[in-house]
């Protein structure tokens, strides 16, 4: 089936949704149409075997074990399909029934599915509720009748094509209800790129007999990533056995994904429902390949407690010991979760995950994000990061990046990370018609070219100087050192200073007599004098206070000094009791020193020539290695792939402005006339 045929089919299904207008909110259309599509798909698959299934069901003893019954009846269906239906009805026979009985008969049809399918319609789609609403509105038979006109048998529309159909329907429903289709679907060409990158170095290992590979997606959506991964692996080796695993939080997406697993012969129990980050349904499992497109910029505040508890209680023995990202974005939680499921054998694991730019550079040294990057890079798991074109996704036009990680790097890649800038025009083409925010797509030839650049480890040579570069893992690390400058204060008794003193809380807590005594003592200091030394001012202040018979506690003395001081470069340096210079916190600065450079040499070259009195606070150290300065990691694509674009000549800009002025003047003249 061609793309045009898929779009035509999608448009027909979409037209069925128009029947719901007025009786259902637009945001509810998907709750009716999507389960009907799944139901029709299953009906087309099961129709031919229905007589044999009914005959077998009739012959089985009533007290037979449920698992044994399921095995026998599913076996009658054949084709490794793990489902059956014991109802006497099919869509074809239901169409011949009295329209007034359609609701009762459809309920009979749904409730006679095998348990693994019945749960999908009853618990996840909540389909019986929608059938009742349709029946009450007098729409049920009309909607059902329209779906009988669609042939969704695998001979007519493959599993991959069904994925395209769901993709287009979900996008449409999401657009009209102001939801985010990108939470459910990743464009197919992006998935194919990720899968190609995961497999391009493993083609030899995937050939031959007896090869078994397990693939996992912790944010499975409707299962598109899993399906395409299996398809690409079987294209390499039709004898390979691919086991698919996943978990999904959205009930409708989960229902579609599980249905797909059922009809393609996969174990439906490998697709779990629930929140991957708080309820790992595949705890203890390890996988050969993992790929995912987790939600971008989605906060994890509402389920933060179990994640924080796991990080605190289990540390590096759990999933989140490396660090916790800011509460507003949980992408790096998913990546840590995937790393925890790497296999530690000869085969190891490969991970492909698409994320926005935030995980590359958000968070300074010591932050959760930086510590997670540090953990991945110091363990040498990050193999490559690919910048994708903008405007690829349905719900956002932002820049996205594919991260490739593995715990079995080839010798040539050890200690290195390849960055590929595939955002340029050579790697995308414009779509004839935009789909939401999706205006571009990656053509197959570009996918193959990106995979070749990655496979060949091209490093800034020949035609790829501005596309692919290879770095040491330490090139992304730095030490953030704290640079201090001496505190220099001048003191004088001014009206402004006295007003600031009156507003200070420690002074305001004194009773009126004490306040008057302090102010009187200050007014006794020489008028108009400016002390350029804190020590000399303190001596003068102490003398004035003694003369006035006033005693000051430490908190009040501190606010007096603060209120009557101001920074002055010509003043003497303030020192502590040991005679060491005090740091001026307002002038404190932080410098980033590359990991492969000695911080002392850096300061000698970059700091002291400009600020001779500065020094490095050597008590500001890294929690892990104890060295001076805190270690941080960031990956700034713009820095490595910056392309200078010279400004336009002033004459050209001036001419353009004059042309605009003339155009505006002409328009105004038309208004006046």
pLDDT in tens, 338-376: 999 999 998 999 999 999 999 999 999 999 999 999 999
Q: Which two tokens stand for residue 649?
A: 């000549």
Residue 99 pLDDT grade (very low, low, confident, very high; cuts 50, 70, 90): confident
Give the start-to-end residue ranges of the domains of the chain. Answer: 3-176, 181-457, 489-567
Mean pLDDT of 300-312: 95
For 131, which DSSP code? H
Greater pLDDT, 432 or 212: 212
- CA distance readout (Å), 226 to 1, 13, 179: 21, 25, 24
Q: Is the pLDDT of residue 21 over 70?
A: yes
| Contacts with 363 (C-beta within 8 Å, 6 or more apart), sequence order | 325, 326, 369, 370
Side by side, which strands form the sheet with 241-248? 271-273, 241-248, 212-217, 289-292, 350-356, 400-406, 382-387, 416-421, 468-472
> Strand, coil or helix: what is 205?
coil
Instruction: Tally helices (H) and strands (E) across the chain.
Output: 26, 17
Mean pLDDT of 423-439: 87
High-pLDDT (> 90) share of the chain, %: 69
Q: Is the pLDDT of residue 1 over 60?
A: no
What CATH number matches the domain at 181-457, 1.10.1660.10, 3.40.50.920, 3.40.50.150, 3.40.50.300?
3.40.50.150
pLDDT of residue 160: 81
pLDDT in tens, 309-348: 999 999 999 999 999 999 999 999 999 999 999 999 989 9
pLDDT of residue 182: 44
Residue 142 pLDDT grade (very low, low, confident, very high; cuts 50, 70, 90): very high
Q: What is the pTM of this model?
A: 0.86
- Pinpoint the alpha helices (H) of 177-326: 188-199, 224-236, 251-263, 304-314
pLDDT of residue 461: 63
């Amino acid at each position: 089936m061609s793309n045009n045929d898929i779009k035509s089919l999608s448009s027909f299904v979409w037209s069925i949704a128009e029947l719901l207008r007025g009786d259902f909110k637009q945001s509810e259309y998907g709750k009716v149409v999507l389960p009907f599509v799944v139901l029709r798909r299953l009906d087309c698959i099961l129709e031919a075997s229905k007589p044999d299934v009914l005959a077998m069901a009739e012959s089985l003893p009533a007290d037979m074990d449920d698992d044994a019954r399921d095995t026998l009846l599913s076996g009658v269906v054949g084709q490794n399909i793990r489902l059956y239906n014991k109802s006497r009805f099919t869509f074809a026979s239901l169409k011949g029934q009295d329209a007034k009985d359609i609701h009762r008969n459809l309920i009979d049809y749904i409730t006679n599915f095998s348990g693994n399918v019945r749960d999908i319609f009853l618990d996840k789609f909540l389909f019986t509720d929608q059938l009742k609403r349709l029946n009450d509105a007098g729409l049920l038979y009309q909607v059902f009748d329209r779906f009988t006109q669609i042939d969704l048998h695998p001979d007519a529309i493959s599993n991959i094509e069904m994925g395209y159909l769901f993709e287009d329907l979900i996008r449409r429903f999401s657009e009209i209800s102001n939801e985010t289709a990108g939470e459910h679907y990743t464009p197919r060409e992006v998935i194919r790129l990720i899968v190609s990158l995961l497999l391009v170095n493993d083609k030899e290992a995937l050939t031959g007999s007896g090869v078994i590979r397990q693939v996992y997606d912790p944010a499975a959506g409707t299962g598109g990533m899993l399906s395409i991964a299996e398809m690409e692996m079987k294209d390499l080796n039709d004898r390979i056995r691919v086991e698919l695993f996943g978990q999904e939080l959205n009930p409708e997406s989960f229902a579609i994904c599980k249905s797909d697993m059922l009809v393609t012969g996969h174990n439906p129990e490998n697709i779990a429902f629930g929140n991957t980050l708080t309820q790992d349904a595949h705890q203890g499992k390890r996988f050969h390949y993992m790929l995912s497109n987790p939600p971008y910029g989605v906060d994890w505040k509402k389920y933060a407690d179990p994640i924080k508890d796991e990080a605190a209680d289990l540390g590096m023995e759990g999933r989140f010991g490396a660090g916790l990202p800011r509460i507003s974005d949980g992408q790096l939680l998913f990546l840590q979760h995937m790393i925890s499921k790497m296999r530690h054998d000869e085969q190891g694991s490969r991970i492909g995950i698409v994320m926005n730019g935030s995980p590359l550079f958000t968070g300074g040294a010591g932050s959760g994000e930086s510590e997670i990057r540090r953990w991945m890079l110091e363990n040498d798991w990050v193999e490559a990061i690919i910048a994708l074109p903008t405007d690829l996704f349905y719900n956002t036009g932002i820049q996205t990046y594919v991260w490739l990680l593995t715990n079995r790097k080839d010798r040539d890649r050890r200690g290195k990370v390849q960055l590929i800038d595939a955002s340029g025009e050579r790697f995308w083409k414009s779509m004839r018609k935009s789909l939401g925010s999706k205006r571009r797509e990656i053509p197959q030839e570009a996918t193959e070219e990106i995979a070749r650049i990655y496979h060949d480890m091209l490093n800034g040579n020949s035609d790829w100087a501005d596309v692919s570069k290879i770095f040491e893992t330490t090139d992304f690390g730095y030490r953030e050192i704290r640079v201090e400058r001496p505190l220099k204060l001048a003191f004088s008794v001014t009206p402004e200073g006295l007003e600031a003193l009156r507003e200070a809380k420690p002074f305001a807590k004194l009773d009126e007599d004490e306040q008057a005594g302090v102010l009187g003592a200050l007014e006794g200091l020489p008028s108009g004098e400016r002390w350029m030394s804190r020590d000399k001012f303190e001596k003068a202040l102490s003398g004035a206070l003694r003369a006035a018979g006033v005693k000051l506690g430490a908190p009040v003395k501190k606010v007096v000094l603060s209120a009557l001081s101001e920074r002055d470069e010509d003043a003497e340096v303030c020192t502590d009791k040991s005679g060491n210079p005090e740091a001026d916190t307002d002038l404190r600065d932080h410098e980033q020193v590359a990991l492969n450079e000695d911080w002392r040499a850096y300061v000698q070259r970059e700091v002291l020539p400009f600020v001779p009195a500065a020094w490095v606070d050597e008590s500001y150290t890294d929690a892990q290695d104890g060295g001076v300065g805190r270690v941080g990691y960031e990956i700034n694509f713009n820095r490595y792939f910056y392309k200078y674009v010279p400004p336009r000549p002033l004459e050209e800009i001036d001419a353009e402005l004059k042309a605009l002025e003339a155009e505006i003047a002409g328009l105004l003249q038309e208004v006046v006339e």
